[in-house]
Chains A and B, each alone.
Chain A
Amino acid sequence: MTEAGPLVLIVEDEPPMRRFLRASLGSHGFRLVEAGSAREATAAATSHNPELILLDLGLPDGDGVELTRRLREWSRVPIIVLSARGHESDKVQALDAGADDYLTKPFGVNELLARMRVALRHAAEVGRPADPVIEIGALHIDLARRLVTRDGAEVRLTPIEFRLLAMLARNAGRMLTHRQILQEVWGPGRADETHYVRVYMASLRRKIEDDPARPRLLVTEPGVGYRLRDA
C-alpha cells in the first residue's frame, strides 16, 4: 500500500505465525523484514535499521531475552515481545532487559496493531520535550503543576501516588514491570518489594477509578506489571 509505512522486523521461527503477521501487517501498510533466528535477527537489525521489532521469545538458536539485551546496547528501536501463556517470568525478563511491550500468543490483530501504535508513538516522542499535560478519559494530569483532576474535580494524591501515576501516564498504553516502577518511584534498592507497588496501585485505583475492583484505567497484567490504558 503506502510506500512510506514503518519498517518492521519480524523475528519468528514458526512459518504459520510469519505468514499471519506478513498478511495482516502488510495489508496495514507496514514494510516487513523477516528473520527466523536470533543470528538472522541481529544481522537484519543492523543492516535494515527497522523502526519496530516483533520478537518471538522462543527462538531455536537462542534466547529472546538475551537478544533484547544485546540490541539495547546500541539501539533504542521499540521491541514488542511475543510469547506463550504461562511464561510470565520470561516476559518480565524481556521487559526488564529493555523490551517495550509484550503480547501473549494467541493474540488478535487489533491488539497487535494497538501495541505497535503505542510503541511507535513513544519512540517518536523520545527526545522531544514531554507534554506537561496528559489527558486520559476523564482524567487530567498536569505534570508540571502536580495537579490531577477527574471530571474537573481535584484528586488529592500523596507524593508517591502522584509519582506513580505520572510514570504510568508518561508511558500510557505501555507495559511497566513491578521492578521498573519500583526503581523509578522508590529508587534503587527496593526492587524486590513488589507489594509496595501493589498497595499504592490499590490506593490510586480507589481515587481515580469508578470501581477499583473493576479497573478501566489501571490495568493489571498478573505476574508482570501494570499498564495505564490510553483510550
Chain B
Amino acid sequence: MYVALATAAAWSARPLLALPDLVALYLLVIMAVAVRYGRGPSVVASALSVVAYDVFFIAPHYTFSVHDQRHLLTFAIMFAVGLVISHLALRIRRQEQEAEAATLRVRTEEIRSSLLSAVSHDLRTPLAAITGAGTTLRDHSDLTAHERRELLDTLCEEAERLERLVANLLDMTRLEAGALDVKREWVPVEELVGSALSRIEGRLDGRPITTEIPSDLPLAPVDPVLFEHALVNLLENALKYTPAGSPLEIAARRAGDGIELELADRGPGLPEPAESLFEKFVRHAPKGTRGVGLGLPIARGIARAHGGDVVAANRPGGGARFVLNLPLGSGAPTAVAPELEASP
C-alpha cells in the first residue's frame, strides 16, 4: 500500500525527479513502514520497492527485465539500505516503547505513593486525636466536666471515623480485586432505603427527607448488604457536601428494563466534570471537610457489580442528583401478597 502510493507519487513527479531521488523516496517509505509496522512488513516493503522501481522506472518499463546491468547494483544497494533502515527504525521503536513503559512505571509509583500518603494521613489524623484525648484523660485529673466531655466525644467520634475509613478501604480493595461476592436476593426497594436511612439516622440532624417509592415497584435483585452500603455512601456524600438542614429527596421508579433510584439535594451542585467524583481519592471538599474520597467510587463499584451504575448530574433549580440504576433481569417474583396468602 505504502509502496504503491510512493510509486504513484514518484510516477507523477517523474519529470521533476532524477532516478536517485526516486530511490531516496522509496527508502523514506521503507523507513515509515518499519517505524509503523515493524520488521516483517518493512522487509516486504523493501522488496516491493525494488520491484516497483524496476518495473516502473527502469527501461524497459513494465517488465522485470533490465537492459543496463548497473541498475542491478542499484537494486541490491536499495534493498540492503532498506533492510538496514528498517532494522534501525525498529531499534528506535523498541527504545521508545521501553521509555514509555518506564515512564508509566514511574507514574504508577507516584500515584501509589500519593494514595498511600493520603490514606496514611487520613488514618493518622483520627489516631492522633484518639491518642491525644485518651492520654489527656488518663494523665490529667484537673479537667473540668466540660473538658472531659469534649475529650470523650473526640474519642468516640474519631474512632467511628476510623472504622468507616477502614471499612471503605476494605471494600475498595475487594471491589478492585474483583473479590466481591454478590449474593442476590429479591428485596423491596423500600426496605433497602429504609435500612440505609436508619443506618445514618444519627447524622441526619433533623434534615427534611422525602421518600417517594411506588408500592407496585418490582423487587430488586440485589445483595442487600452491599446495596445498603452503596445507598449509605450516597447519603453520606450528600450529608457531607450539602448545608446542614437542607432537604434530601429519595425517589425510586421503573426506568426501561430496570429500576432507577434517585437521591437529589439542594446543595451547591457538582464540580465539573461530574465524572471525576467517581475517581478514587479525588475530593472536591472545601478545606476542613473530612473524608478520603472513597464513598462514591465504592457506591459505583457496587452498582456495577450488580450490572447497574451510578451517575451524577446537576439539578435544574440548584443542587445535585445521583441516580443509581439497576437492571431487573428476568424471573422477578411477583410482589403481590394475596397470591402467597393462598398457600400459607
* B142-165 Cβ-contact flags toward A at 8 Å (1 or 0): 000000000000001001100100
Whether B195 contacts A214 by the Cβ 8 Å rule is no
Q: Are the C-beta atoms of A213 and B250 separated by less than 8 Å?
A: yes
Question: Does B99 sit at the interface, judged by CB under 8 A?
Answer: no
Known: A160-B340, A198-B187. A106 touches B163 (CB 8 A): yes
B111 at the interface (CB under 8 A from A): no
Given known pairs A159-B344, A195-B185, A199-B188, the reply for A220 and B195 (CB within 8 Å) is: yes
Chain B residues within an 8 Å CB radius of A222 = 192, 195, 224-225, 227-228
Contact B341 A199 (CB under 8 A): no
Q: Chain B residues near A85 (CB, 8 Å)?
A: 167
Contact of B195 with A212 in the complex, beta carbons under 8 Å: no
B residues less than 8 Å from A30 (CB atoms)? none
Q: Cβ of B193 and Cβ of A213 under 8 Å apart? A: yes
Q: How many chain B residues touch the partner (CB < 8 A)?
A: 37
Contact B337 A215 (CB under 8 A): no
Q: Tell me if A27 counts as interface (CB < 8 A to partner B).
A: no
| Contact with A215, one of B159, B198, B223, B228 (Cβ below 8 angstroms) | B198
Q: Considering the complex, which residues of chain B in the window 129-184 have a beta carbon less than 8 Å from any beta carbon of chain A?
A: 156, 159-160, 163, 167, 170, 183
| B56 nearest CB across to chain A (Å) | 74
Which single member of A108, A185, A211 contacts B211 (CB below 8 Å)? A211
17 new A-B contacts, CB < 8 A, other than A88-B225, A198-B219, are A85-B167, A106-B159, A158-B338, A159-B341, A187-B344, A199-B188, A199-B337, A200-B340, A202-B188, A203-B337, A213-B190, A213-B250, A214-B197, A215-B194, A220-B191, A220-B195, A223-B225
Is residue B274 contacting chain A, with contact meaning CB distance below 8 A?
no
Question: Complex formed: what's the CA distance from A183 to B128 in Å?
Answer: 50
Whether a CB of chain A sits under 8 angstroms from the CB of B12 is no
Say yes or no for A194: interface residue by CB 8 A criterion.
Answer: yes
- Interface set, chain A 74-91, CB cutoff 8 A to B: 85-86, 88
Question: B211 touching A186 by the CB < 8 A rule?
Answer: no
Cα distance A195–B340 when bound, in Å?
11
- In the bound complex, do residue B197 and residue A213 qualify as a contact, i.e. CB atoms below 8 Å apart? yes
Nearest CB in chain A: distance from B330 CB, A:
15
A160 touches B341 (CB 8 A): yes
Q: How far is the CA of A160 from the CA of B342 in the complex (A)?
A: 10
Shortest beta-carbon distance from A62 to chain B in Å: 24
A175-202 vs B, CB cutoff 8 Å, 1 = contact: the mask equals 0000000000111000000111011111
Interface digits, A200-231 against B, CB 8 Å rule (1 contact, 0 not)? Answer: 11110110000111110001111100000000
Residue on B nearest A218 in the bound complex, by CB = B194
- List B contacts of A211 (CB < 8 A): 211
Contacts of B228 on A, CB cut-off 8 Å?
A: 222
Number of interface residues of A (CB under 8 A): 32
Tell me how many residue pairs across A and B have CB atoms closer than 8 Å: 85
Q: Judge whether B23 is part of the interface by a CB distance below 8 angstroms.
A: no
B residues neighboring A (CB under 8 Å): 156, 159-160, 163, 167, 170, 183, 185-188, 190-195, 197-198, 209, 211, 213, 215, 219, 223-225, 227-228, 250, 333, 335, 337-338, 340-341, 344
Interface residues of A (CB under 8 A from B): 85-86, 88, 106, 108, 158-160, 185-187, 194-196, 198-203, 205-206, 211-215, 219-223
| Given A159-B341, A160-B344, A195 contacting B187 (CB threshold 8 A) | yes
* A160 to B343 Cα, complex, angstroms: 10
Return chain A residues, CB-CB under 8 Å to B190.
202, 205, 212-213
Name the B residues within 8 Å of A196 (CB-CB): 340
B163 partner residues in chain A, CB cutoff 8 A: 106
Which single residue of chain B is at the shortest CB-CB distance from A229? B198
Docked CA distance A64–B97 (Å): 55
CB pair B340–A214 under 8 Å, yes or no, is no
- Bound: A167/B225 CA distance, A: 24
Q: Which residues of A contact B340 (CB under 8 A)?
A: 160, 196, 199-200
Within the assembled complex, what's the spacing in Å between the Cα atoms of A199 and B189?
A: 11
**Is the beta-carbon distance between B215 and A186 smaller than 8 angstroms?**
no
Question: Mind listing 15 A-B residue pairs with CB under 8 Å?
Answer: A85-B167, A86-B167, A159-B344, A160-B341, A160-B344, A194-B185, A195-B185, A196-B340, A199-B335, A199-B340, A200-B340, A202-B188, A213-B250, A222-B192, A222-B224
**Most B CB within 10 A of own CB, among A160, A185, A196, A212:** A212
B339 → chain A, closest Cβ, in Å? 10
- Assess the A198–B186 pair: CB atoms within 8 A: yes
With A159-B344, A186-B344 known to touch, is A214 a contact of B186 (CB < 8 Å)?
no
B333 — nearest CB in chain A belongs to which residue?
Answer: A195
Docked pose: A220 CA to B195 CA in angstroms: 6
A13, B250: Cα distance in complex, Å: 43
Chain A nearest Cβ from B219, distance in angstroms: 6
**Cβ contacts under 8 Å, A88 to chain B:** 225
